[in-house]
A = this chain, B = another copy of it.
């Protein structure tokens, strides 16, 4: 029976996720679809996946953030509001929120997607957060969805307003270090592990031959950014 594959496992995963989201769905199937990646539906019949919800969720997210910025920052120009919104409504902030919920473990995906790192893939996690926002919008209405967005994006909004969102940690580290004169920043790949389709890279960053931090990622670039981020955190800690 193909249909039976889409039965909701109410007793465990979904209920646990509902608790984390602090939302009780009347229609549990909506949440089930929101956490179903397209790969899971491949070759199966009657399985709905989250792409259409993601389409709607993006709009719910946009209006919630736009309205908040519009109402709370009456002195900011349209250009400033647009810039802040683009810092808040982006893949990276959606990914950060997904990580807080440990969302990867609740997503239904194909075995193939899973063994190539799907549960940690930024785009899959970010899209799933948007789909969950849409599911709440449909199940509980606009007010509740807006409230959900604002409470989950609170930290991101604060950071965006205070210009504390950094998109490129390597550039930022360069800027910070150069304040003390010329520096030599070096990124060294110290090891990698795993099969080619799921290789994990480990990078160490050092400034004038002093190690400042380590980072990991599923590409060299990602691991370098991660190392720079760690170094910036260390510097911040040491400077009070």
Q: Residues of A with Cβ closer than 8 Å to B?
A: 51-52, 54-56, 58-60, 62-63, 66-67, 70, 76-78, 81-82, 134, 142
CA distance A78 to B37 in the complex (A): 13
Determine the residue in chain B with the shortest Cβ distance to A146.
B142
Count chain B CB atoms within 10 A of each CB in A51, A56, A60 and give the residue with the most: A56
- Would you give the shortest CB distance from A77 to chain B, in whole angstroms? 7
Given contacts A51-B77, A81-B52, contact A66 B59 (CB under 8 A): yes
CA distance A67 to B52 in the complex (A): 10
Q: Copy number of this protein in the oligomer? A: 2
Contact between B59 and A81 (Cβ–Cβ < 8 Å)? no
Q: Which 10 A-B pairs have the closest CB atoms?
A: A51-B78, A59-B63, A59-B66, A55-B78, A59-B62, A56-B70, A63-B63, A55-B81, A52-B78, A56-B66
Residues in chain B near residue A58, CB distance under 8 A: 66
CA distance A54 to B78 in the complex (A): 8
Given contacts A62-B62, A142-B142, contact A55 B67 (CB under 8 A): no
CA distance A142 to B59 in the complex (A): 13
Count chain B CB atoms within 10 A of each CB in A52, A54, A81, A82 and give the residue with the most: A52
Residues in chain B near residue A67, CB distance under 8 A: 56, 59
CA distance A66 to B77 in the complex (A): 26
Given contacts A60-B63, A142-B142, contact A70 B82 (CB under 8 A): no
Determine the residue in chain B with the shortest Cβ distance to A143.
B142
What would 27 A/B residue contacts be, using CB atoms closer than 8 Å?
A: A51-B77, A51-B78, A52-B70, A52-B76, A52-B77, A52-B81, A54-B78, A55-B66, A55-B70, A55-B78, A55-B81, A55-B82, A56-B66, A56-B67, A56-B70, A58-B66, A59-B59, A59-B62, A59-B63, A59-B66, A59-B67, A60-B63, A62-B62, A62-B63, A63-B63, A70-B134, A142-B142
